[in-house]
Structure 1
Amino acid sequence: MKRSIYLILFVFILGACDKGFEDVNVNPTKPVQVDVSTKLTTAILLASSERYDNWRANLIYQSTMMQHMATLAGYWAGDKYTWDRGYASSLMDRYYTGVVKQVEDMLLQLETEGGPEEMKAITRILRVFAYSRLTDLYGDVPYSEAGKAVIDGVFQPSYDPQSEIYADMLNELEESAAALGTGTSGFGSADIIYNGDQEKWRRLANSLMLRLGFRLIKVDPAGAQEWVTKAINGGVMESNADIFYVPHTNGPEGINQNGNGETFLADNSPRLSKTFVDFMLNNDDPRLTVLGSLPENTGETDGGGAAILRTPTERLDPTTQKGLPNGLDAGLLEDSTGETNIQAYTEPNRMLVTGLDDPMFFQTYAEVEFMLAEANVRWGLAGDAETHYNNGVRAAMEMLEMYGGGGAIPSADIDDYLINNPYDPGNALEQINTQYWAATFLNEYEAFSNWRRTGFPVLVPVNYPGNVTNGTIPRRLTYSESEQVNNPQNYNEAISRQGPDLLTTRVWWDVE
Structure 2
Amino acid sequence: MTKLISKISVIALAAGLGFSGCTNKFDNINTNPDKASSASSEWLATNILTAVTSKDISQGTNFRQPFTLGKYIGWTEMVSDYQYNRMVRVDFGRLLVLRDIDPMIKNASTADLKNTFEGFGHFIRAWQFFQTTMQVGDIPYTEAIQGASGLIKAKYNTQKEVFQGILSELDQADQLLAKGVNFSGDFIYQGNVDKWRRLANSFQLYVLINLYKKTADADLDVINKFKAVAARPLMRDINDNFAVTYTASAGYCYPWSSTPAQLNSFLDYPVLSSYLLDPMKATQDRRLFYMAEPSPAQLSAGKAASDYSAYLGIDPADELGVIVTNKKAGKSCAVNKRYEEMYNAEPVGLLNYWDIQFILAEATVRGWITGTDAQTYYANGIKSHMNFIAKYAPASYAHGMAMDDAYINAFPASVALSGSAGDQIKQIITQKYIAGFFQNADFTAWYENRRTGYPVFTLNKNTNLNTPASVLPLRWMYPQKELDYNADNVTKALKDQYNGNDDPSNAMWLLK
How high is the TM-score relative to the length of structure 1?
0.79
SS in 1 for 2:350: strand
1:170–1:209 Cα contact (<8 Å) kept: yes
- Asked whether the equivalents of residues 264 and 354 of structure 1 are also in contact (C-alpha less than 8 Å), the reply is no
Residue 385, structure 1, aligned to residue 374, structure 2: yes
Q: Is the 8 A contact 2:430 2:455 kept in 1?
A: yes
> Is this contact kept in 1: 2:115–2:180, CA < 8 A?
no
Determine which of 395, 405, 410 is the counterpart of 1:411: 405
**CA pair 198-343 structure 1, distance change in 2 beyond 3 A:** same
Amino acid at match of 1:331: G
- Using the TM superposition, name which of 164-173 and 230-239 deviates more: 230-239
Tell me by how many angstroms 1:288 deviates.
0.9
Contact 1:51 1:259 in 2 (8 A): no
AA aligned to 1:326 is P
Superposed, 1:266-345 pairs within 5 Å as 266-268=265-267, 269-294=269-294, 318-333=308-323, 339=326, 341=328, 344-345=331-332
Match of 1:438 in 2: 434
Distance in 1 between residues matched to 2:32 and 2:111, nearest whole Å:
20
Task: Return the alpha-carbon distance in structure 1 between the equivalents of residues 391 and 335 of structure 2.
Answer: 16
Q: Which residue is 2:161 aligned to?
A: 164
Match of 2:244 among 242, 246, 261: 246
- 1:227 maps to 225
Deviations 1:111-136 (A, max 9, x none): 99995212210221122112211111
Paired letter, 1:323:
G
1:119 counterpart SS class: helix
Which residues of 2 match residues 133-144 of structure 1 at below 5 A? 133-144=131-142
Q: For residues 59-138 of structure 1, what are the structure 2 equivalents within 5 Å?
A: 59-60=64-65, 62-83=66-87, 85=88, 88-89=89-90, 92=91, 94-97=93-96, 99-103=97-101, 105-107=103-105, 109=107, 116-138=114-136
Distance 1:180 1:115, change over 3 A: closer
Kindly provide the amino acid, as one letter, of the partner of residue 214 in structure 1. Answer: I
Map 1:415-430 onto structure 2 (within 5 A): 415-426=409-420, 427-430=423-426
Q: 1:459 aligns with which of 457, 460, 484?
A: 457
| Superposition deviation, residue 452 in structure 1 | 2.2
SS for the counterpart of 1:146 is coil
Tell me, in whole angstroms, the C-alpha distance in 2 between the residues paired with 1:372 and 1:36: 35
Aligned match of 1:33 = 38
Aligned match for 1:374, one of 362, 367, 370: 362
SS at match of 1:265: coil
Q: 1:398 to 1:114 in 2, by over 3 A?
A: closer
What is the deviation of 1:473? 2.5
Paired AA for residue 82 in structure 2: G
Q: Deviations over 1:441-464 (max 9, x none)?
A: 232522122222222233322324
Matches within 5 A, 1:13-24: none
- Distance in structure 2 (CA, Å) of the matches to 1:506 and 1:154: 30
Q: Return 5+ residue gaps in structure 1 as ranges.
A: 1-21, 300-307
- Contact residue 338 and residue 393 of structure 2 kept, 8 A: no
| Count of residues in correspondence between the two structures | 461
Q: What SS does structure 2 have at the residue aligned with 1:349?
A: coil
Residue identity over aligned pairs, in percent, reads: 23
Deviation of 1:77 after TM superposition, in Å, equals 0.6
**Residue 130 and residue 403 in structure 1: after superposition, are their counterparts in 2 closer, same or farther (change >3 A)?**
farther
2:208 equivalent in structure 1: 213
Question: In structure 2, what is the equivalent of residue 45 of structure 1?
Answer: 50
Q: 1:492: which partner in 2?
A: 491
SS at match of 2:476: coil
User: Cα distance, 1:205 vs. partner?
Assistant: 1.5
Q: Which region of structure 1 is more displaced relative to structure 2, 402-411 or 65-74?
A: 402-411
The correspondence for 2:191, drawn from 180, 189, 196, is 196
Aligned to 1:364: 352
SS at match of 1:493: helix
CA contact (8 A) 1:452 1:475 kept: yes
Distance 1:57 1:128, change over 3 A: farther
Q: Deviations over 1:196-222 (max 9, x none)?
A: 222212211111111111111112346
Q: CA deviation at 1:264?
A: 9.3
C-alpha change, 1:174 and 1:330, in structure 2 (3 Å) is closer
> Partner of 1:180: helix, strand, or coil?
helix
CA distance in 2, matches of 1:316, 1:40: 46
Structure 1: how far apart are the matches of 2:56 and 2:121? 24
TM (norm. structure 2) is 0.79
Deviations 1:282-328 (A, max 9, x none): 11111111112248xx69xxxxxxxx99xxx9767644221121123
| Aligned-partner Cα distance in 2 for 1:441–1:104 | 36
Q: Supply the distance in 2 between the matched residues of 1:137 and 1:273 (Cα, whole angstroms).
A: 24
Shift of 1:228: 0.9
Deviations 1:309-354 (A, max 9, x none): 9xxx9767644221121123443447xxx73617542122232377
Query: RMSD of the TM alignment (CA)?
Result: 3.5
Q: 376-385 vs 161-170, which deviates more? A: 376-385
Describe the SS at the equivalent of 2:243.
strand
| Mapped partners of 1:279, 1:234: distance in 2 | 34
Q: What does the per-residue CA deviation read over 1:120-165, in whole Å, with 9 as the maximum and x for residues that have no partner?
A: 102211221122111112222222233333x324443333221111
- The alpha carbon displacement at 1:173 in A equals 0.8
| Cα deviations by residue, 1:379-419 (Å, 9 ceiling, x for unpaired) | 24241111111111111221224644458732222234223
